[in-house]
């Protein structure tokens, strides 16, 4: 029999960046807040030491805990893939969430992304506009400590500062390193405009975080805490009185007779069951674990699961499913100095072409390929001083490019609780069906044409192209936002249509994602929904 343990004004499920932001906003307004997190607390110094001493540096998940009661999808053993395209995400279930190992790209969407269907006849429109969310973008940037360039055109079109901003970036953008500067100089003359990627690294001391030291280990962990991570706002919320229960795996959302959410049920690692009540509830787990939980929470009144009268929970799964390319150039560029990513080209972000093919973003990875280069040379039998010379020569000239492609929300692309596989405490694991369409394929072809042009401009040779549907871990769309309860899960305030006291703080509510990372948009929506709850509690 479940035990009632704690009551709160607001119960938040999930302790990632969005749950932490909502918790902090509510707690500092005087609301009692309880946060439930499936995974454990972690300490930065331990993760740094684990990574330093690990022999497995091929996976950015290797230094993080992977407990049986809250497994992570590293290594492919947790997720069940049923579709033609594998959805190979690598999120973390720990206090602070996946931002522990994110690259910290913090893009705003542009106004046209919010009206994709109206302008281009594709996908869905949002029930809100860019102007509605803009003030919350500004607040989210201040909370996360975003650095960027105020005068850049991020549409890739007209050269004027875009999108519109009511406030400057909290911090000046980090400078390009040598490689990024040279790439920008050599490609700009051909119409490819170099853009500084806005990101959540401190370019000066900010909010208790030190200035970025350029360690180039943003993935899997910033060793000094210059990069924003979700535990920042969890700790801020705790200082305002919020309480956190870690290792609390929620398995059921209980609906009361009035249709409102009455309680949350969770299990601890020893399989003990507990029940928590509240006035309002915020589902802030990621856009895979959250819809899985909603679909598991069936009852006679809601046989399809919580919030699912539209049958859209778990559907419309999106990502920025992408491509990768490696190139060897004649000029020594020396990648690997400074943050892992900073330079992008956005010529494929917006324009009439979106009627015909997906938008896309080119990014240049700033990883030093020492390990890969050394391994290949050793396979070739190169040893001794010659090996050392060849590593230096090749590492300086090997560049890695990636493309993030827009995907559209299709109901067939979905996540459901598995009926075949369960974790150590008896909870179903996520099961996926995912595929791409001709719109994505046409965007892929346009991006590959760009790559061949890059090779000409850089006097380089493309040595490898990966068209294998790379997952970018930008989980979107599974609890989609809309004005009509018949074809959406939440309204413009991120309140579920079916339950007046259940809100969803997740990138899963996004009806479109453009081609840029969704975290800042999710953060803005989390702050916005907290404002709604403040007025009602």
Which residues are part of the catalytic machinery? 474
Q: Phi and psi of 140, rounded to 5°?
A: -65, -40
What string of H, E and C letters represents the secondary structure of 157-184? CCCCCECCCCCCCCEECCCCCHHHHHHH
Angle among Cα 461, 464, 470 to the nearest 5 degrees reads: 135
Cα 191 to Cα 55, 157, 186, 473, 476, distances in angstroms:
43, 10, 10, 29, 31
Angle among Cα 506, 481, 229 to the nearest 5 degrees reads: 15
Token digits of residue 137: 């973008």
Q: Residue 334, SS3?
A: coil
CB atoms within 10 A of CB 461: 12
Contact 475, 338 (CB under 8 A): no
CB atoms within 10 A of CB 96: 24
Give the dihedral sign, CA 267/269/272/275.
Answer: negative
CB atoms within 10 A of CB 424: 13
What string of H, E and C letters represents the secondary structure of 194-242? EEECCECECCCCECCECCCCCCCCCCCCCCCCCECCCHHHHHHHHHCCC
Of 528, 412, 432, give the one whose Cα is nearest residue 138. Answer: 528
Measured distance CA(491)–CA(497) in Å, rounded:
6
Contact 480, 414 (CB under 8 A): no
Token digits of residue 531: 């404002």
Contact 317, 432 (CB under 8 A): yes
Over its C-alpha atoms, the chain yields an Rg (Å, rounded) of 23
Measured distance CA(404)–CA(407) in Å, rounded:
10
Q: What crossing angle do the helices spanning 130-144 and 519-536 adopt, rounded to 10°? A: 100
What string of H, E and C letters represents the secondary structure of 56-72? CCCCCCCCCCCCCCCCC
Measured distance CA(62)–CA(73) in Å, rounded:
11
């Amino acid at each position: 029999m479940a035990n009632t343990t704690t009551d709160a004004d607001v119960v938040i499920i999930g302790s990632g960046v969005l749950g932490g932001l909502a918790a902090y906003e509510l707690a500092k307004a005087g609301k009692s807040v309880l946060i439930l997190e499936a995974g454990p607390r972690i300490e930065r110094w331990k993760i740094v030491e684990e990574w330093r001493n690990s022999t497995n540096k091929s996976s950015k998940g290797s230094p993080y805990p992977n407990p049986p009661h809250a497994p992570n999808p590293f290594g492919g053993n947790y997720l069940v893939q049923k579709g033609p395209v594998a959805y190979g995400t690598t999120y973390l279930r720990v206090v602070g969430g996946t931002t522990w190992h994110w690259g910290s790209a913090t893009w705003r969407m542009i106004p046209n992304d919010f009206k994709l269907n109206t302008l281009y006849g594709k996908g869905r429109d949002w029930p809100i506009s860019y102007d509605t969310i803009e003030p919350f973008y500004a607040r989210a940037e201040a909370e996360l400590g975003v650095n960027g360039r105020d005068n850049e055109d991020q549409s890739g079109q007209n050269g004027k500062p875009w999108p519109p901003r009511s406030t400057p970036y909290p911090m000046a953008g980090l400078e390009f390193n040598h490689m990024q500067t040279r790439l920008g100089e050599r490609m700009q003359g051909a119409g490819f405009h170099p853009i500084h990627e806005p990101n959540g690294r401190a370019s000066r001391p900010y909010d208790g975080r030190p200035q970025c030291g350029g360690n180039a280990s943003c993935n899997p962990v910033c060793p000094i805490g210059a990069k924003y991570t979700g535990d920042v706002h969890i700790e801020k919320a705790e200082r305002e009185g919020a309480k956190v229960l870690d290792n609390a795996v929620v398995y059921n959302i209980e609906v009361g007779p009035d249709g409102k959410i009455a309680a949350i049920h969770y299990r601890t690692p020893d399989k003990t069951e507990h029940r928590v009540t509240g006035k309002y509830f915020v589902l802030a787990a990621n856009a895979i674990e959250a819809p899985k939980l909603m679909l598991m929470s069936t009852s006679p009144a809601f046989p399809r699961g919580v919030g699912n009268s539209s049958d859209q929970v778990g559907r419309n799964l999106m990502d920025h499913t992408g491509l990768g390319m490696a190139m060897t150039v004649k000029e020594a560029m020396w990648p690997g100095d400074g943050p892992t990513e900073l330079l992008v080209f956005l010529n494929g972000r917006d324009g009439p072409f979106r009627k015909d093919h997906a938008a896309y973003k080119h990014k240049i990875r700033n990883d030093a390929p020492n390990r890969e280069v050394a391994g290949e040379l050793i396979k070739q039998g190169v040893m001794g001083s010659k090996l050392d010379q060849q590593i230096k020569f090749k590492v300086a000239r090997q560049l890695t490019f990636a493309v993030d492609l827009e995907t559209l929300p299709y109901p067939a692309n979905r996540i459901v609780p598995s009926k075949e596989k369960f974790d150590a405490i008896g909870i179903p694991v996520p099961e996926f069906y995912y595929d791409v369409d001709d719109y994505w394929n046409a965007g892929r072809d346009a991006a590959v044409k760009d790559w061949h042009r890059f090779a000409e401009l850089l006097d380089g040779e493309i040595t490898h192209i990966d068209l294998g549907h790379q997952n970018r871990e930008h989980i979107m769309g599974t609890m989609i936002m809309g004005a009509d309860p018949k074809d959406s899960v939440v309204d413009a305030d991120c309140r579920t249509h079916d339950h007046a006291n259940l809100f969803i703080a997740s990138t899963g509510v996004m009806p479109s994602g453009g081609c840029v990372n969704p975290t800042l948009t999710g953060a803005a929506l989390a702050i916005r929904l907290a404002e709604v709850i403040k007025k009602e509690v």
